[in-house]
Amino acid sequence: MRPPTSQDELTTDWLTSVVNAQGLGPAQVRSFDAELLSGEQGMTGQVARLRLHYREDRPGLPATLIAKSSAAEPVARALVSALGFYEREVRFYETLSSRTPVPKPRCYYSHLDSESGCALLLLEDLAAARNGNSIAGSSLDEISRVLLALAVLHATWWEAADVANASWLRLRSLLAPEVMADSFTRSWPSLLQKLSIPVTSQISEMGEWIEQNLHAAATTLFDSGLRTLIHNDVQADNLFFRDDGEVIFIDWQLATYARCVIDVAFWIRGQLEPEIRRPVEPQLLRLYHDALVANGVRDYGFEQCRSDYELATVLAPARLACAVGLSGVQAHPGAFWDTWLPRYPD
């Protein structure tokens, strides 16, 4: 049976084969409904909830699945494919997920057509858990829980040859470390024009600070020193929280091999308002480092961790500038960048 390359090609027979291949059958999908989440095409693709209706219901059969597919529009798909987003996430689920001991959705199916850039994932539906909200921010308890989970992720893949030698994990195109500074310089004026909040002196000075430090930060943190597998997009929208304290990580499209504190800086700086963050930032970094050591990392001292963290704080606002400034998204009051950008300055 030819594998589908988009949600439009899904059939009941093919979904039946996927469910049975997972050892959940015998089952037969009689029909299914697809609901596009958020009601619109995403920036990098489509995410839909599939509601499966079986001829005979049995315990353990998934009532819903999440279908994540590449962008339908060829130009957009080619751009995202060139950035390596689709390949990175598909390969993560196929080769690294089972050995990565942090909670993530169960993957029922993965496929990538390298020529067309078409990709499809069928993932566990996490609707029973609470999805984070990057605009609302996160509580200190949530911040701490995620830091402890990140320490497990980073310690597991610390200096591991599997990820160090995986060329598909390398950031490409506009996100490549060696061109990040140039991408930022081109995108920053456009981001400022799209803000609906005042461009304060603090924001202007932050832009100058990023421009002065971004190249050194990117080439140092991604290309040298003690490195590991990082998620590289740790924000609340990419996390689900269960009542039992478990944190589930989704969206592995930006995963790469780099210094661990990139994830830590993205998470702390992106989720806390500055007046809340500043008094607790040293303790949060210490919490993370203690957990890293407790999980077996012995060659990365706290002073190095703190120095790398300070260097990494330049990356998140720079990526925000590139994502918004170089994209076709239009300015509108209350956009997410109005909330995120003021969180990053010291």
What pLDDT, on the 0 to 100 scale, is given for residue 42? Answer: 59
* pLDDT higher than 70, residue 39: no
pLDDT on residue 328:
75
Length of the chain counted residue by residue: 346
Of the two residues 253 and 74, the one the predictor is more confident about is 253
Arithmetic mean of pLDDT, 41-65: 89
> One-letter amino acid identity for 236?
A
Distance between CA atoms of residues 187 and 323, nearest Å: 8
| Amino acid letter, residue 166 | A
Residues 6+ apart with CB under 8 A from 283: none
User: Would you state the structure tokens that stand for residue 333, as one six-digit string?
Assistant: 């009051």
More confident residue, 58 or 247: 247
DSSP letters along 169-226, please?
GS--GGGSGGGHHHHHHHHHHHHHHH-SS---HHHHHHHHHHHHHHHHHHHHHHHSSS
Q: Residue 24 — pLDDT band, cuts 50, 70, 90?
A: confident
Tens-digit pLDDT profile for residues 294-312: 999 999 999 999 999 999 9
In this prediction, residue 1 carries a pLDDT of 59
Whole-number pLDDT of residue 7? 84
Span 133-139, mean pLDDT? 95
CA-to-CA distance for 285 and 287, rounded, in angstroms? Answer: 5
pLDDT for 232-276, tens place per residue? 999 999 999 999 999 999 999 999 999 999 999 999 999 999 999
pLDDT at 40 exceeding the cut of 60: no
Contact 241, 339 (CB under 8 A): no
DSSP 8-state class, residue 107: E
Whole-number Å distance between alpha carbons of 97 and 229: 11
CA 178-182-184 angle, to 5 degrees, is: 110
What does the alpha-carbon distance between residue 68 and residue 5 come to, in Å, rounded to a whole number? 11
Is the pLDDT at 73 greater than 90? The verdict is no
User: Comparing 9 with 266, which gets the higher pLDDT?
Assistant: 266
**pLDDT computed for residue 43 by the predictor:** 65
| pLDDT score for 114 | 86
Residues contacting 51, CB < 8 A, separation 6+: 32, 33, 34, 35, 63, 64
**% of the chain exceeding 90 in pLDDT:** 83
Q: How many angstroms separate the first and last alpha carbons of the chain?
A: 56
Nearest residue to 309 (alpha-carbon basis) of 167, 111, 150, 108:
150
Distance CA 309, CA 319 (A): 16
Q: Which residues, at least 6 apart from 235, have a Cβ–Cβ distance to it below 8 Å? A: 132, 134, 266, 267, 270, 271
pLDDT in the model for residue 3: 78
Residue 121 main-chain phi, psi, to 5 deg: -125, 140
Q: Give 5's pLDDT tier (boundaries 50, 70, 90).
A: confident
Render pLDDT for 89-133 as a digit per residue (tens, 0 to 9). 999 999 999 999 999 999 999 999 988 889 999 999 999 999 999
E strand residue ranges, the chain: 29-36, 45-54, 64-70, 107-112, 119-124, 130-131, 228-230, 239-241, 247-249, 256-258
Angle between helices 302-312 and 274-294 (to 10 degrees): 140
Which of 16, 42, 26, 40 is CA-nearest to residue 109? 16
Averaged confidence pLDDT in the chain: 93
Q: What is the pLDDT of residue 312?
A: 97
CA distance 18 to 336: 37
pLDDT of residue 41: 46
Cβ pair 152, 102 in contact under 8 A: yes
How far apart CA 169 and CA 115 sit, in angstroms, is 18
Beta-carbon contacts of residue 303 (< 8 Å; ≥ 6 apart): none
pLDDT tens digits, one per residue of 147-188: 999 999 999 999 999 999 999 999 999 899 999 999 999 999
Measured distance CA(236)–CA(173) in Å, rounded: 26
What phi and psi values does residue 101 have, to the nearest 5 degrees? -85, 50
Tell me the percentage of the chain whose pLDDT exceeds 70.
98
Under 8 Å between Cβ of 343 and 206: no
